[in-house]
Amino acid sequence: MLKSEFWGDETEAVNLALDWAIAHTVSGSDPKTSFKSSEELKKEVGVSITSDGLGAKEAMRLYSEVLNPATRSADDPMALAFIPGAPTRAAVAFDAVVSAANVHGGMWEMGAGAVFAENQVLGWIKSLLGWTEEAGGTFVSGGTLGNLSALSAAKHTIKEKWRQMGRFQNGRPITGYKLACASTAHSSVRTIATVLDVDIVTIPVDAGGHLTGEMLEKALVENPTIFAVVATSGTTNTGIVDDIDSIVTVAHKYDIWVHIDGAYGGAALAAPSVRHFFKGIEKADSFIVDPHKWLFAPYDCCAVLYRDQKHAIHTFSQHAEYLDAFGNEEVNPSDLAIHLSRRTRGLPLWYSLAIHGTKKYEQAIEKSIENSRKCAEYIRKSSHLELLLDPELSVVVFARKGWTPEQYDEWSNKLAKAGELLCLPSKLNGRTILRLAFINPHTDVDKVIHILETTMK
Ligand SMILES: *Cc1c(COP(=O)(O)O)cnc(C)c1O
C-alpha cells in the first residue's frame, strides 16, 4: 500500500507522520507554545506548496519545528482560558483510527457500524436528558454548527406549525421571524441569526445572570414572531445555567422552540452535584454539547440532539437520484444536521467512554466542579481578590482589587509565556476581570491557588 505506481514510495511520509502522532498522543501538547503573526510565519516557513513538492522530511520538519510550536496548547492542565480541552489519551489515539478507517459517516448505508457506535454515545446523552426513543441526533464539527442545525430545524418546524395552526400576522403569512436569547448567549447565536436572516431579541437576565421564563414571557408578548429561545446551560464567560424549567414552561405556552446550548456545560448533566440546575431540560426541543470541551474528546466534536428527531429529518433530508437508491429504514446522520459527507467524529468519545465507563466520566466532571469550588473559596477568603459570582458549574470569575486592564494583561502574558498558567482577562458588565475554566481533571487546583497567592499580591 505504501508504494504505489502513482504516488511512489510514501513509507517515509507515513512513518514520520505516525511517529509524531504517537509521540504527541503520549505527551500531549507543550504549554509553552504560543501563536505568531502571519508575517513572522511567512519568514520562517517560506513557500511550502511547490510544483515539485518538498518531500516528507522537509514537510514534517516544517510542521513539527515551526508550525505546531506556533499554536497554543488547549489541553495542558494549566490552560484555563477560553473553554479548554482535556481529551483522554485513548480518545486522541482513536482519532487516528477514525482517519485510518476513513468511513463515510453521512449515510447508514456507508457507515452502519461506526454510526451505530456513535448512536450509543448519543443514547447515553439522551438518557441524561431524560429523552425517549423519538429523540435522535448526530455529531457535527462544533457548537456553532450544532446551534445552527438546531435553530434551522426550529425555524422550519415552527413555521410549519404556525401555518397549520392558521397563525397569521395582520391576516398575512408571518414574516420577520425573531430569535430570543440573553445577552450572555454565545457569540455564535448572533452569527446564526445573521445566517438564518432573523432578528435577535435580547432578553435581560436576573441579578445572578440567568435568563428566566418571566423575562421571556415579557419578550414574547411584545414580539409575537419569536420562533425560538436559546437558553444556555453553562454560559461561556461565567458558567451560569439559565432557568431552563421556567423557560420551557413559558415557551411551550406560546408554541415556540427551546434550544439548550450546552456546548461547554452540557457535560455537567452527568454530574449529580449540579444536576438540579438542569431541571426542565427533559422538555426542551433541542440540545448541544461539545465533547471537545468537557467530555474529554479531541477537536472537533459537537453532539446535536433533538427531542423529536423527525423535525430534524423534515428539515435536513437531502434527496438526489444517487442518494435515494439505497432505501433502507435507518436514519442517516445526514438527515439530522447541515452536512452530508462526514467523518465519524463521535467515535473517539465512544472509544474512551466504552473503555472507562460512564461512572468515570461523572467523576472526572465532578473533579473540575470541586476544583472550581475550592478555587472560589480561596478567592472569597483572600484579601487581594474579589469573587464576582458563586460558580454554578466550573468557571470562576474574579477580579484583583485595584488593578487596571494593563496590569491584568501584563500578569496574564507573563504566566502564559512561561507556560505556568493560561488565564486571560475577560469582561463582566463592562469591567475587566479574570476567569478560570476548570475542565481538566489533571488540573492541580492547589498549584493554581499558589500562583494567585504569590503573583497577584
Ligand atoms: C464554545 C461554545 C460554543 C461554540 O462552540 P464551537 O465548538 O467553538 O463552535 C457555543 N456555545 C457555547 C455556550 C460555547 O461555550
Q: What is the 384 CA–ligand 1 centroid distance (Å)?
A: 32
Summarised one tens digit per residue, pLDDT across range 357-401 is 999 999 999 999 999 999 999 999 999 999 999 999 999 999 999
Give the Cα separation of 439 and 442 in Å (integer). Answer: 9
Question: For 38-72, how does the pLDDT look when each residue is reduced to its tens digit (9 = 90+)?
Answer: 999 999 999 999 999 999 999 999 999 999 999 88
pLDDT single digits (tens) 92-120: 999 999 999 999 999 999 999 999 999 99
What are the tens digits of pLDDT across the range 159-197?
Answer: 999 888 888 777 777 788 999 999 999 999 999 999 999
Residue type, 95: D
User: What strands, in cross-sheet order, belong to the sheet with 425-428?
Assistant: 385-387, 395-400, 431-437, 425-428
CA 303 / ligand 1 centre spacing (Å): 12
Do residues 408 and 431 lie in contact, with contact meaning Cβ atoms separated by under 8 Å? Answer: no
Ligand 1 centroid distance, CA of 320 (Å)? 32
Q: What is the pTM of this model?
A: 0.96
442-457: average pLDDT: 97
178-181: Cβ within 8 A, 24+ apart: 178/223, 178/225, 178/226, 178/227, 179/151, 179/226, 179/227, 179/228, 179/229, 179/230, 180/216, 180/219, 180/220, 180/223, 180/226, 180/228, 180/229, 180/230, 180/256, 181/211, 181/229, 181/230, 181/231, 181/232
CA 144 to centroid of ligand 1, rounded, Å: 6
Supply φ then ψ for residue 257, to 5 degrees. Answer: -90, 140
The residues pairing with 435 across neighbouring beta strands, listed in sequence order, are 397
- Class in CATH terms, 97-356: alpha beta
CA of 186 to the centre of ligand 1 (A): 7
Determine the Cα angle at 385 with ends 205 and 391, to 5°.
Answer: 40
Residue 257 has pLDDT above 70, yes or no: yes
Find all residues with CB under 8 Å of 271, minimum gap 6, and list them: 362, 365, 366, 369
Report d(CA 121, CA 270) in Å as an integer: 13
Pocket test for ligand 1, best of 148, 261, 289, 302 (most atoms within 8 A of CB): 261
The band of 350, judged by pLDDT with boundaries at 50, 70 and 90, is: very high
Neighbouring C-beta atoms of residue 172, cutoff 10 Å: 7
Measured from CB, residues less than 6 Å from any atom of ligand 1 are: 83, 142-144, 147, 186, 188, 232, 236, 261, 263-264, 290, 302
CA distances, 358 to each of 91, 113, 254, 267, 428 (Å): 14, 21, 37, 12, 35
What is the sign of the dihedral through the CA atoms of 320, 325, 327 and 332?
negative
What would the CATH number be for the domain defined by 358-455?
Answer: 3.90.1150.170
Going from the Cα of 264 to the center of ligand 1, the distance in angstroms, rounded, reads 7
Ligand 1 atom at shortest distance from the alpha carbon of 236: 15
Within 28-107, residue ranges assigned H as helices are: 38-45, 56-61, 89-101
Residue range 397-412: mean pLDDT, rounded: 97
What separation in Å is there between the alpha carbon of 439 and the centre of ligand 1? 14
pLDDT band at 326 (very low <50, low <70, confident <90, very high): low
Q: How far apart are CA 299 and CA 309, in angstroms?
A: 25
Distance CA 30, CA 8 (A): 34
**C-alpha 149 to ligand 1 mean position (Å):** 13
Atom 10 of ligand 1 has which residue's CA nearest to it? 143
Atom of ligand 1 nearest to the CA of 142: 7
Q: Compute the average pLDDT of residues 271-281.
A: 98
Give nearest CA residue, ligand 1 atom 5.
143
Q: Do 19 and 94 meet the contact criterion of CB atoms below 8 Å apart? A: no
Atom of ligand 1 nearest to the CA of 234: 13
**Residues sharing a CB contact under 8 Å with residue 306, sequence separation 6 or more, in sequence order:** 135, 136, 137, 150, 153, 285, 286, 312, 336
Mean pLDDT, range 248-272, rounded to an integer: 98
| DSSP symbol at 47 | -
How confident is the model over 414-429, as a mean pLDDT?
92
298 CA → ligand 1 middle, Å: 14
Q: What is the mean pLDDT of the chain?
A: 95
* pLDDT higher than threshold 80 for residue 420: yes
Average pLDDT over residues 298-325: 89
Q: What confidence score (pLDDT) does residue 381 get?
A: 98
Which sign does the torsion angle of CA 120, 123, 128, 129 carry? positive
Q: Over 80: is that where the pLDDT of 242 sits?
A: yes
Q: From ligand 1's centre to the CA of 61, what distance in Å? A: 33
**For the chain, how many helices (H) and strands (E)?**
16, 13
| Residue in 188, 233, 237, 395 to alter for ligand 1 test, most ligand atoms within 8 A of Cβ | 188
Instruction: Check residue 106 and report its DSSP letter.
Output: S
Distance CA 379, CA 57 (A): 50
User: What average pLDDT does the segment 225-241 reach?
Assistant: 97
Q: Please choose, from the candidates 265, 257, 348, the residue with its C-alpha nearest in 3D space to the C-alpha of residue 306.
A: 257
**pLDDT beyond 80 at 320:** no
Testing ligand 1's pocket by substitution, the residue of 82, 186, 195 carrying the most ligand atoms inside 8 A of its CB is: 186
How far apart are the CA of 191 and the centre of ligand 1, in A? 12
Which of 264, 304, 392, 439 maximizes ligand 1 atoms within 8 Å of its Cβ, making it the mutation to test the pocket? 264
| pLDDT reported for residue 402 | 96
- Residue whose C-alpha is closest to residue 342's, from 118, 19, 18: 118
Task: Give the total residue count for the chain.
Answer: 457
Atom of ligand 1 nearest to the CA of 300: 7
Establish whether domains 97-356 and 358-455 are of one fold: no
Q: How far apart are the first and last CA of the chain?
A: 61
Q: Which ligand 1 atom sits nearest the alpha carbon of residue 290? A: 7
> Taking the domains of the chain in order of start, what are their residue ranges?
3-30+34-70, 97-356, 358-455
Instruction: List Cα–Cα distances, 58 to 12, 45, 53, in angstroms.
Output: 11, 11, 10
Which residue CA neighbors atom 12 of ligand 1 most closely?
A: 263
Q: What is the pLDDT of residue 167?
A: 82
In ligand 1, the atom with minimum distance to the C-alpha of 185 is: 13
Asked if 244 and 274 count as a contact pair (C-beta separation under 8 A), the reply is: no
What the block records as the C-alpha cell of 449 is 491557588
CB neighbour burial string for 88-104, b if at least 16 within 10 angstroms, e if fewer: bebbbbbbbebeeeebb
